[in-house]
Amino acid sequence: MNQPSRALSAASEYLHLNRAQWDERAPAHAASPGYSRQRFLDDPAFLSDVVRFDLPRLGDIRGLRAAHLQCHIGTDTLSLHRLGAAVTGLDFSGASLAEARALAAATGADIGYVEADVYDAPRVLEPGSFDLVYTGIGALCWLPDVRRWAGVVAALLKPGGRLFIREGHPMLWAVDETRPDGLLAIDQAYFEREDPLVWDEDGTYVETDTVFQSTTTHQWNHGLGEIVTAVMDAGLDLTMLREHDSAPWDALPGRTTADEHGEHRLTDRPWRLPQTYTLQARKR
């Protein structure tokens, strides 16, 4: 990312700006090797790197009714389906869902997709009916209020149902990724703030030659304590929290090395920085 251009006092435009960005990038993401669309088509057992990484923690989900919030183009959603869950994907980007539906159709997967803002999920999905709510990498940073999100999760889950999330670590989001000297410097907000960080970027996080026109987005960080507290206050009991020194993308270009599974770690002393975390919680 480039440095944020400025912070705004109101976030009234964030849905419009962010949706335009995702709508424009969805076809490029689907065409990129980073999302492995062809491998899903060629191998009926193939799973996304994100889902595969957490298989020991995710466990057996066969027969569970699952909601995948902020599902984007549906590669993680399809992976959950292949693991035996009856899964519904939700996203606010119509273009992203078009790609997700096309992938599901091409692979013969029976997956339902719903277009809606994540905060509206209890209105468009059946509340209290899901065994599992799943959220993958790069989702919470697009939401201004993590407590409201936790309330959505609680509303969707049946008693005893489980939240499962792997996400970028708020410590990573706070690091200045542009420093040429390699130092890990904290330059962005760690804690949730009312004002968004406003970014202006003409690229994306996958390989593509596409030139994009929608470049402005609004994002928010949420401290790990804020996330855990929000989940617990919404009526869920924390059952697991594990921090990882790796991320499934190159979060700090020029400073990481990828392993054979596509997980990037700091080349120099990777134990200095948590890059992602996996959290599980169960509804009381």
Structure confidence by residue, pLDDT tens digits, 124-148: 999 999 999 999 999 999 999 999 9
Cα distance between residue 282 and residue 172, in whole Å: 26
Q: Specify the pLDDT at position 271.
A: 97
pLDDT at 203: 52
Query: What is the per-residue pLDDT for 32?
Result: 83
Q: Report pLDDT for 200.
A: 72
User: Using one digit for the tens of pLDDT, what is the confidence trace for 210-227?
Assistant: 666 656 889 999 999 999
Nearest to 22 by CA among 192, 196, 216: 216
pLDDT at 3: 45
Q: Examine the pLDDT at 9 and tell me if it is beyond 60.
A: no
Angstrom distance (rounded) from CA 40 to CA 125: 27
> pLDDT, tens digit, for every residue of 22-81?
888 888 888 888 788 899 999 999 999 999 999 999 999 999 999 999 999 999 999 999
Percent of the residues in the chain that have a pLDDT greater than 90, as a whole number = 75
Say what the pLDDT of residue 209 is.
64
pLDDT of residue 38: 92
Neighbours of 61 (CB within 10 A): 21
Query: What does the mean pLDDT of the chain come to?
Result: 91
pLDDT score at 252: 93
- Statement: residue 1 has pLDDT above 60: no
Alpha helices in the chain (DSSP H): 14-31, 37-42, 49-53, 55-58, 75-82, 94-107, 121-124, 146-156, 170-174, 224-233
Q: What is the pLDDT of residue 8?
A: 41
3-state helix, strand, coil in the chain (%, to 5): 35, 25, 40
Q: Which of 42, 53, 50 is nearest to 73 (CA)?
A: 50
pLDDT computed for residue 202 by the predictor: 62
**What is the per-residue pLDDT across 184-213, written as a single tens digit (0 to 9) for each?**
999 999 999 998 988 777 655 656 566 666
**What's the average model confidence in pLDDT over 228-245?**
98
CB of 92 closer than 8 Å to CB of 116: yes
**So what's the pLDDT on residue 4?**
45
